[in-house]
Amino acid sequence: MGPTNLGGSFTFGNSSLTVNRMGYGAMQLAGPGVWGPPKDPEGAVAVLREAVAAGVNHIDTSDYYGPYVTNQIIKRALHPYPAGLVIVTKLGGRRPPDKSWQPAISPQELTSGVHENLRNLGLDVLDIVNYRVIGSSHGPEEGSIAEQVTVLADLQRKGLIRHIGLSNVTASQVAEAQAITDIVCVQNLYNVAHRDDDDFIDELGRQGIAYVPFFPLGGFAPLQSALLESVAKSLKAKPMQVALAWLLHRARNILLIPGTSSIHHLRENLEAATLQLSPETIAELDAIAAGRPSGTIGV
């Protein structure tokens, strides 16, 4: 598969890091439940190589996927990394033996996490590190993140991190972090059915900050799924392609990182960047957000 249109490009803040807007999320390369190795390690390597061959130059990952599994697969598949590839990782969580998702937010845990990511990815410096807030619910919760961001800013000054982002955060937490260091991206729950961050996205866009939605294809109520399917049928496309295309149309600062362990699904996801949506279709899709269904969301 040769390079294709991947939704145009975006440059993170005042950095030299420019990526195509359609990227790839590595979470699904780990085993079931994002735990342990995949059933088909060679297939996981093939998906990554296919993505990069298609022009993907933004890969999202974390050492707590597996744990350690996805970063080691990325290193095996792509190291030495091609010029221009931006790997974004995240800290703030850990996976104990019971396979739960737990916070890992002490200075020691964050510092160790940076060094573990460097080692498992085979890098001397991490392009972007997102501090992920893991709370008692799936959505963001207010609370100070100054201590954690300060630790990452110190590691940034030491040359181990180029840029810092945030995940699962509120607007006030972003402002708190910006008083400490520049923030280049925010990862939050957002899709055509879950649109609580509409105003937030627009404000981040005015600041030149990327917004990277996670869970872009899930949590739809039956009626919402039916509406999405109807629109997709009229466009001769798959529902997930329409949902991704809507996100690319929603705002220029939105970057996508849909994940898959299938080359077939990877190709379908990337093709979504070429899907054109008319104003009428966008209006139909906007109406899907009338409900607020619940769903199981990974971190």
Active site residues: 65
Q: How many CB atoms lie within 10 A of CB 193?
A: 24
Report whether the peptide linkage leading into residue 80 is cis, meaning its omega lies within 30 degrees of zero. yes
Tell me the three state secondary structure of residue 228. Answer: helix
| 296 contact partners, CB below 8 Å, separation of at least 6 | none
CB hemisphere CA count around 207 (13 angstroms): 18
Cα–Cα distances in Å, from 281 out to 201, 233, 239?
Answer: 21, 12, 13
Query: How many angstroms separate the CA atoms of 89 and 130, rounded?
Result: 6
* String of DSSP letters for 198-209: HHHHHHHHHTT-
Which pair of structure tokens corresponds to residue 188? Answer: 């939050």
Query: How many angstroms separate the CA atoms of 53 and 47, rounded?
Result: 10
Between the CA atoms of 192, 195, 197 and 201, what dihedral angle is there, to the nearest 10 degrees?
A: 40
Q: How many CB atoms lie within 10 A of CB 188?
A: 22
Extract long-range pairs of 112-118: CB within 8 Å, 24+ residues apart: 113/63, 114/152, 114/155, 114/160, 114/161, 115/160, 116/63, 116/68, 117/63, 117/71, 117/89, 117/91, 118/160
Query: How many angstroms separate the CA atoms of 239 and 269, rounded?
Result: 11
